[in-house]
Structure 1
Amino acid sequence: MARRLEGKLVIATHNLGKLAEMRELLQHFGVDGVSARELNLPEPEETGETFVANAELKARAAAAGANLPALADDSGLCVEALEGAPGIYSARWAGPSRDFAVARKKVEQALLNVGARPPFKAHFVCILSLAFPDGETRSFEGKVFGELVFPPRGSLVFGYDPIFLPEGLTKTFGEMSLEEKHSIPSDGSPGLSHRARAFQAFARACVDNT
């Protein structure tokens, strides 16, 4: 039987935008958490070569530092014409100041540099890793497919959201409220965002009240 989550959970991120999204999704499943920032845990260097490796190393570091179960997310934008870039380097494209307006411009320029033409097919990936203090770790994946649009659209300017248009929809993630973006149907069908889909998989395996 899969190990279930009990008691307090550490949300292993120092990114305030990601923390807000993860807290909202956890509350959907009746789970509350304290952030790594609030616990003054160090932010580990992301040295993995895959989303899974980076999510797991962040979760394990937080679980060991707090002696509590910890949930970490590693996610990014993968653009077909750029051979999957920025991928695991999605945050690094925003530079040391995490300026995603810069990152979005870099994506647009990279597409021009390779002579790509619309539609610019892309997908978001989210890996959630849950680690326990004894080192046991489980990971869950969510993906959402769509295309990129320029200029950016929407006032929710978190990450690459203003340039990502999910397949079959007319609004970018940047034009949606957090509630819209992370909507999870009551019938158990897939949520809208990559993070919502990863959380559904995590909750089915690890949360008792789902």
Structure 2
Amino acid sequence: MFKQLVLASSNAGKVAELQSLLADYGVEVLPQTQFGVPDADETGLSFIENAILKARHASRLTGLPAIADDSGLAVHALGGAPGIYSARYAAMHGMDNAQDSKDAANIRLLLQNMQQHTDRSAEFHCVLALVQHADDPVPLIAHGRWSGQISQQQLGEGGFGYDPIFWLPELGKTSAQLAKADKAALSHRGQALRLLLTQLRG
């Protein structure tokens, strides 16, 4: 097991979540911003491609093993959108507003696009890629998925991204209403990390 990993993300929510999830295993997660590493160009067409691109980029510029997360929300009625473009969904459609946070703009556009749809099923996906070095020919890949629905309105103050509208019917609440420990146990990111740790131990 590694003692230190660079996380190829400048997303504070992802950094905090992965730091918390890996703390129990004695792994120190260092955000790439600590090394002045800029975000990689996400030119892939899938979560897997983008995760590997980001991990190699961070490892190349730091010389350390790196882990990258590429995740997003796939809504069935929208043909899998926003998908790999989840983080920049509103910006790509010219719907971002200086008065909104990026998350708020993305949520507003998604709810708007869902107004005419009765099928509100969706999945959060997370792909984690871990490379021991920048040219690692066998990156470890783990894919977690979390099924739910798109709620009619925002509920909850926790989490980040689309959490306030990701409704979990079996729990009667959104992801943003979950306690951190409960979210870690259920989430796409938590699932992917446990799969990755199983591979590392193996």
TM-score (norm 1): 0.86
Q: Which structure 2 residue ranges, 5 or more long, are not aligned? A: none
Deviation at 1:157, TM superposition (A): 5.0
Q: Counterpart in 1 of 2:59?
A: 63
Q: SS in structure 1 opposite 2:173?
A: coil
SS of the equivalent of 1:91 reads: helix
- Worse overlay, 80-89 or 153-162: 153-162
Matching residue of 1:142? 144
Which amino acid in structure 1 is aligned with residue 7 of structure 2? I
**Alpha-carbon deviation of 1:134?**
4.9
Whole-angstrom distance in 1 between the partners of 2:147 and 2:16: 23
Name the structure where helix makes up a greater proportion of residues: 2
Q: Specify the alignment match of 1:203 in structure 2.
A: 197
Report what 1:116 is aligned to: 117
CA offset at residue 30 of structure 1? 2.7
Of the three residues 26, 35, 39, the one matched with 1:39 is 35
Q: How does 1:1-210 map to 2 (within 5 A)?
A: 5-95=1-91, 99-112=102-115, 115-117=116-118, 119-136=119-136, 137-156=139-158, 158-183=160-185, 192-207=186-201
Distance 1:90 1:142 in 2: 16
TM-score, normalised by the number of residues in structure 2: 0.90
The one-character-per-residue Cα deviations of 1:130-166 (angstroms, maximum 9, x if unpaired) are 0121522121100010111121000115100000023
User: Structure 2: how far apart are the matches of 1:177 and 1:58?
Assistant: 29
Q: Residues 44 and 75 of structure 1: is their aligned pair in 2 closer, same or farther, counting only changes over 3 Å? A: same
What displacement does 1:28 show? 3.1
- The answer as to whether partners of 2:57 and 2:134 remain within 8 angstroms in 1 is no
Deviations 1:148-187 (A, max 9, x none): 112100011510000002352212111112222102xxxx
Distance apart, 1:87 and its partner CA: 0.3
Contact 1:29 1:203 in 2 (8 A): no
Relative to 1, partners in 2 of residues 1:41 and 1:73: Cα closer, same or farther, differing over 3 Å?
same
Q: Structure 1: how far apart are the matches of 2:102 and 2:37?
A: 23
Give how far 1:55 is off: 0.4
User: CA shift at 1:207, angstroms?
Assistant: 4.5
Whole-angstrom distance in 2 between the partners of 1:62 and 1:30:
21
8 Å Cα contact 2:140-2:199 kept in structure 1? no
1:9 & 1:73 partners in 2: Cα distance? 13
Runs of 5+ unmatched residues, structure 1:
184-191
Q: Percent identity?
A: 37
Structure 1 runs of 4+ with >4 Å offset? none
2:147 alignment partner AA: F
Counterparts of 1:106 and 1:50 in 2: how far apart (Å)? 22
How many residues end up aligned between the 2 structures?
193
1:6: how far off?
2.6
Do the aligned partners of 2:13 and 2:159 also contact (CA within 8 Å) in 1? no
Matched residues in 1 for 2:167 and 2:84: separation? 20
Aligned 8 A contact 2:126 2:188 in 1? yes
SS state at 2:84 partner: helix
Q: For residues 53-73 of structure 1, what are the alpha-carbon distances to aligned partners after superposition, in whole Å with 9 as ceiling and x for unaligned?
A: 000000000111111100000
CA contact (8 A) 2:8 2:68 kept: yes
